C-alpha cells in the first residue's frame, strides 16, 4: 500500500540536514534530475537520493508516495521548464509550434529523464497547464471540439514520441552515437546505384538530414494538416 504523503504545511523539516539543507519537493526533483543525467535511471534510487541530499531515504516519503510518484514529479518539472516564459500571441499556429518546440527541447535537454517520463501521465499542475494551453489555443482559433481533441491528441503524442526517440539517441554512449551517425556516410553513401538506386541518389542529403531531429518538420506537417482542417470546418 502506498504511504500517505505528509500535507504540504507539515513537510518542511524543522531542522536542516547535516549539510545545512532544508528539503523541499523542488530540491528533491532537481537533485533527481542531476542524478539521472549523471547515472541514468538505474542510478536513481531512494538510497542514493538520500545520500545526495544528506538525509535518511525514508524522509523522501514525506514528499512522495514512492519512487514512481517522484518520477511523475520529474516529468511535470520538465513541462514546467518548457512553459517558463511562454505567452500566447493569438496566432494559433505560431503558438502551437512554440509550445511543441519548447516541450521537445525541455525533454531532450534531460534525455535520461525523458526516457523515464515521456510516456507517463502525471495529472500534475504543469502538465494540466500545458494541456489547457493547447486546448485553449485550438478552441480560440475556431476549431470545432472534435477537431480540437483530434489535433490535440496528435500534437501531444507526436511531441512526446519525438522527444523520447531523440532522447534515446542522446542517452547512448558517445561511441555508439558516433558510430550510428557515421553509418550515413560510411554505409549508406557507399551503396551502388545498381543495387540501391534510391538510397544512392539521396545519400548526400541523407548524410546531412538524418543527423538532426525530424521533429520540426513533422510538427510543421501536422500544423499544415490542422490548418486545412480548420479551413474546411469554418469555410475560411
For the chain, the domains span: 8-65, 88-234
Question: Residue 17: what pLDDT?
Answer: 65
Q: How high is the pLDDT of residue 14?
A: 47
pLDDT score for 1: 44
CATH superfamily of 88-234: Tetracycline Repressor, domain 2 (1.10.357.10)
CB 40 within 8 A of CB 23: no
CA 136/CA 214 separation, integer angstroms? 26
pTM (two decimals):
0.89
Q: Which single residue is written with the C-alpha cell 503524442?
A: 157
CA nearest to 103, candidates 27, 26, 216: 216
Q: To which residue does cell 486546448 refer? A: 135
CATH topology of domain 8-65: Arc Repressor Mutant, subunit A (1.10.10)
Q: Which residues contact 67 (CB under 8 A, 6 or more apart)?
A: 44, 45, 46
Regions of the chain where pLDDT drops below 70: 1-20, 236
**pLDDT of res. 15:** 53
Tens digits of per-residue pLDDT, 147-170?
999 999 999 999 999 999 999 999
HEC sequence for 55-123: CCHHHHHHCCCCHHHHHHHHHHHHHHHHHCCCCCCCCHHHHHHHHHHHHHHHHHCCHHHHHHHCCCCCC
Amino acid at each position: 500500500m502506498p504511504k500517505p504523503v505528509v500535507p504540504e504545511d507539515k513537510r518542511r523539516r524543522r531542522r536542516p540536514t547535516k549539510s545545512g539543507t532544508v528539503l523541499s519537493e523542488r530540491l528533491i526533483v532537481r537533485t533527481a534530475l542531476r542524478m539521472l543525467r549523471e547515472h541514468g535511471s538505474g542510478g536513481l534510487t531512494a538510497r542514493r537520493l538520500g545520500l545526495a541530499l544528506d538525509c535518511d531515504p525514508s524522509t523522501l516519503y514525506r514528499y512522495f508516495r514512492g519512487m514512481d510518484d517522484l518520477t511523475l514529479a520529474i516529468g511535470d518539472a520538465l513541462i514546467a521548464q518548457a512553459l517558463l516564459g511562454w505567452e500566447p500571441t493569438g496566432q494559433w499556429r505560431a503558438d502551437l509550434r512554440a509550445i511543441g518546440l519548447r516541450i521537445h527541447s525541455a525533454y531532450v535537454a534531460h534525455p535520461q529523464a525523458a526516457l523515464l517520463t515521456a510516456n507517463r501521465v502525471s495529472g500534475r499542475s504543469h502538465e494540466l497547464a500545458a494541456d489547457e494551453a493547447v486546448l485553449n489555443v485550438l478552441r480560440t482559433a475556431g476549431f470545432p471540439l472534435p477537431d480540437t481533441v483530434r489535433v490535440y491528441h496528435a500534437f501531444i503524442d507526436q511531441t512526446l514520441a519525438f522527444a523520447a526517440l531523440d532522447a534515446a539517441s542522446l542517452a547512448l554512449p558517445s561511441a555508439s552515437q558516433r558510430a550510428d551517425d557515421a553509418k550515413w556516410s560510411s554505409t549508406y553513401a557507399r551503396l551502388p546505384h545498381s543495387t540501391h538506386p534510391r538510397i544512392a541518389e539521396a545519400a548526400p542529403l541523407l548524410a546531412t538530414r538524418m543527423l538532426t531531429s525530424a521533429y520540426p518538420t513533422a510538427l510543421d506537417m501536422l500544423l499544415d494538416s490542422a490548418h486545412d482542417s480548420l479551413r474546411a470546418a469554418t469555410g475560411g
